[in-house]
Each structure stands twice: as structure tokens, then as C-alpha cells.
Amino acid sequence: MAEDAILGYLEKNEGILDSGCFAVEFGIDHDEIINVTKSLNGYGLVIAQAKEIFKLGEKGNCGENHTLFQGSPEVQLYSVIPAEGISPDELQKRVDPTIFKVGFAQAMKNKWVERVKQLISRKVQHVDDKVKECLVHIQAGEVVGREEIDALKRRKLILSQTWKGYSIRKGPNYVPKRKKAATDLTREHLQSGAWKKLELKEYNFNAKGLPPEGGHLHPLLKVRQQLKNIFLQMGFEEMPTNNFVESSFWNFDALFQPQQHPARDSHDTFFLQAPSTTNWLPEDYVERVKCVHESGGYGSRGYGYDWKREEANKNLLRTHTTAVSSRMLYKLAQKPFTPKKYFSIDRVFRNEAVDRTHLAEFHQIEGLICDRGLTLGDLIGVLYDFFSRLGMTKLRFKPAYNPYTEPSMEIFSYHEGFGKWVEIGNSGMFRPEMLLPMGLPDDVCVVAWGLSLERPTMILYGIDNIRDLFGHKVDLGLMKKNPICRLGLQ
Ligand code: PHE
């Protein structure tokens, strides 16, 4: 509407339009005219113009209404002076005090009246009320001479204001009626042949995308997704980790971790008060686990201690996701054997003193491969494959100890940024004392590794205090500002 009116007007009026006059003439809101013209994109050009406009002053020394309707003070005063003259006292009674004061001074200045002794009389036969005339013009928005304006301003009868108006001209792309540029090529355009004449809107490559208003992902979630993708690309299946509460049996005993092991101490493990014990375990398997702990078997001597069922029954918050791996391997052993590649990324809990690198809960990433005849070489090979996908290509391995793996290796990676070797994970081959009681075939081996999710996330996001990443002290700004994704841990 406004657009057609503007373009049409430009066609008829020598290509120039004054936005203010136009708004009045066509009854269109001034701001709308400006907005429309700005979007005309070269069809019309907007040239900003600052204009001085005037408003009648409310507190002029004799009041706007007085002057506008009853005439200027000088004219009001002049008209009450009789032909024979009048005494100042008498004159004062005929007009109000401001009219007398201002009007008399002004009439004297104009040489309209004179004062001879005690008598004020008219000096001219006739006067014109130029002041009132000017105010009427100004009120109507008409042009008035500069001199008059200045005089009125001095007398505070008018106030000046700046008004931002625009003069609108024909632009280089001017047409009297703009065709709306299409933003999409549709099926209808193609069918009707309209596409041949279609004017397509140009892409604006400088337009900024809208900042995402929705939720923001925590860095841990983003890195978890990256890791998940890596595992999936490598053909791993995700293990169900949706139970934080686990029995000591699956968390420790099934993993050939002796019941006196310091990690099972309540200083390191959170035990549950209610429900304090598990209500189901596979009895025949429990029996085999008890035997292997007490007296060994499968070529092992065992630990030679009195294994207690009550210890195994105790519920706890799982201290590692290897508890899930033990359940999954047991499950796998109950069916005819098929090789598997499993992974999990989820939360674990440890009763640890909290400091800048430790929290009482964190996330573990775990991967395992279960197949016949696997060797340590296979483990090293898969670790190179996995970590190189995270940008870590220089690895070193150090012999280590876990109750459930033999051999065991700590994994180190050379961090270019830190200029040193940093420990990034733990790994090993699950012991026969763990796998054979489950019922897996003799020649089946399992290579596995684990690492924390927090460590790589902190390296990727440059966070040096774990409490800034996870927990109640985390600054939510971190979530909103951090990059959508980061590549490479080096
Ligand atoms: N469970 C080990 C830990 O908590 C990690 C690990 C997993 C080690 C698998 C070897 C094999 O650190």
C-alpha cells in the first residue's frame, strides 16, 4: 500500500517526495513511509533531512492562545487607546497586566503609540497584526520569513524543534510499481512457466544468522556426542548404562576384585543405605565367582580367602562403567558366542576428596572388544585407531595393574600444547578369572579401555578446574558461549 503510493507519487512529482508532506497528504504514518522506503532497495532513495520546525510556545510572555485568538499584546493594547488619548492608569485598567507591560513596550518600539506628558495616544491611524498572522501560518505548518521567526523565537511565542524528515527520490532501479521478487522457485512456477520471467530475490550473504534462542548443550554433552560418533563409526554398540545403583557383585566380584581390596572400602565407594542389598543374582554364576576368588581354577590359584555373599550383595553407586561391561559379557556368555564391540559413556561415583581435578562423580568412557584369539597387539591397534580420531596420534603405554585385567596398560598421549606426555586412560585384557566363570569359550579374549569424559572436555574447552565444568558452581554463561564443536585434542 504505502510502497505503491510512494512509487506512484515519485512517478508523477518529478521524482521527489517530502516524507512529512506526503504523510499528511496521504494519511500514512510517517515511520511506515520511512520503513517502506528503506526496504525499496534502490527503487527509491531516501535522503535524510533535518528540518527546523516550530511549535507555538505555551509559556510565551503573553500566552499562545491570547496572541493567536485575540491578537498580539501590542495590537490588543493599541485597540483600547481612544483617539483622544488615555492616561497610563486608565489604560492599565483596560487590559490585563501582561498585555499592558509587553504590549506597551512593543507598541512603543513599533512607534504605534506615543507618550506625551501624562497621556498615551495613538501615533498611527492603523496597525496590522503581523505577529498573529505569522503564528497562524506557523500553526498551519506554512513557511514564514526568517526575520519573523527570529523575532517570535526571541519573544518565546514559538519554540523551535528539529524534525527528521526525508526527501525521497527515484533510485537507480526505479519502476512505478515494483514486482515482488520471489524468494523461492516453486513447483507452480515451473509448471506455469512463470519461472521464465521470475525476478528472484538476491541472496544476502552478509545477513547474520539469528543467535540460537533455544537451549544450549553442556560441553560434556557435546564431547560425549563426538565420542559416541567415533565409537559408532568404528562399529561399536552402546551398552545400557541406565542404572547408577549397582551391586558389589557386578561392580567388583564379577571383575575378580577381592573383597578386601581397598577400593571396596567405604572411603572410596558410596554404599547404599536403602535398599542396602541386591535382591537377585544368577546363583550358579555367583557360585563360580566365589570359587575363583577362593581357590581359583582355569589355571589360577585364586586369592585364597573366605568369600562372603553379604559383601557381594551390598548395593553401591557404581564406581566404574566396567560394572556394566561385566553384566554385558555375562549376558553374552549365555548364548552361542558372537564377537562384539561394545562401548558406554556414563556417570560413575567415587567417594573422593573434591579438588580441581577430582569430583565425587564423573563420566567414564569405556570400550571393549570381545572375540576369539585377541592379543595385546589388537588392543594397542584399536587404541591408536580410537585416539587418533580424537586428534591424539602419539601414544605411549605403561604397564599398570587392575584386578580384572592382565596385562594392564596406562595410556599416555603427547600433548603438543602442554609440551608433555599426559595420562589419558587405562586399559587391558580381561583376565580368564573374570571371563571363564561367565561361561565364555576358552579362546575368547576381551580387550578393553576406559577414560574419563571430563579430561578431554577440559582440554578441548580450555578449562583447568573441573568445578568450572561440572557441579553447582558452573557458570551458565559457559554453556551459552562455548563453541558448538571443537576438533582435535592437541
Ligand atoms: N575401569 C577402569 C577405571 O575405572 C578403566 C578400565 C576399563 C581399565 C577397562 C581397563 C579396562 O579406571
Residue pLDDT, tens place only, 172-208: 777 777 777 888 999 999 999 999 988 888 888 888 8
> Which one of 402, 427, 435 would you pick to mutate in the ligand 1 pocket, going by the greatest count of ligand atoms within 8 A of its CB?
402
Which residues form ligand 1's pocket by a CB distance below 6 Å?
A: 320, 322, 366, 402, 405, 426-428, 448-450
The per-residue pLDDT for 174 is 76
Compute, in angstroms, the gap from residue 253 CA to the centroid of ligand 1: 15
pLDDT at 490 over 60: no
What interhelical angle do 146-154 and 130-139 show, nearest 10? 100
Residue 350 has, within 13 A of its CA and on its CB side, a CA count of 16
- Delimit the domains of the chain by residue range: 2-54+157-170, 73-128, 220-481
3-class state of residue 27 by DSSP: coil
Please state which CATH class domain 220-481 belongs to.
Answer: alpha beta
Residue whose Cα lies nearest atom 5 of ligand 1: it is 450
> Which one of 316, 322, 376 would you pick to mutate in the ligand 1 pocket, going by the greatest count of ligand atoms within 8 A of its CB?
322
- For the CA of 322, the closest atom of ligand 1 is 1
- For the CA of 325, the closest atom of ligand 1 is 9
- For the CA of 321, the closest atom of ligand 1 is 1
Compute, in angstroms, the gap from residue 323 CA to the centroid of ligand 1: 10
Task: Report the relative pairing of strands 340-349 and 237-238 from DSSP bridges.
Answer: parallel
The DSSP secondary structure of 214-264, one letter per residue, reads S----HHHHHHHHHHHHHHHTTPEEP----SEEEHHHHTGGGT--TT-GGG
Compute, in angstroms, the gap from residue 265 CA to the centroid of ligand 1: 18
- 386-422 pLDDT, tens per residue? 999 988 899 999 999 999 999 999 999 988 878 899 9
Say what the pTM is: 0.59
Compute, in angstroms, the gap from residue 452 CA to the centroid of ligand 1: 10
Across the chain, what does the average pLDDT equal? 88
Same fold, 2-54+157-170 and 73-128: no
More confidently predicted of 47 and 156: 156
The per-residue pLDDT for 61 is 43
Q: Which three cell numbers stand for residue 159?
A: 519554540
| 26 pLDDT tier (thresholds 50, 70, 90) | confident
| CATH no. for 73-128 | 1.10.10
Compute, in angstroms, the gap from residue 427 CA to the centroid of ligand 1: 6
Q: Which CATH number fits domain 2-54+157-170: 1.10.10.10, 3.30.1370.240, 3.30.70.1450, 3.40.50.170?
A: 3.30.1370.240
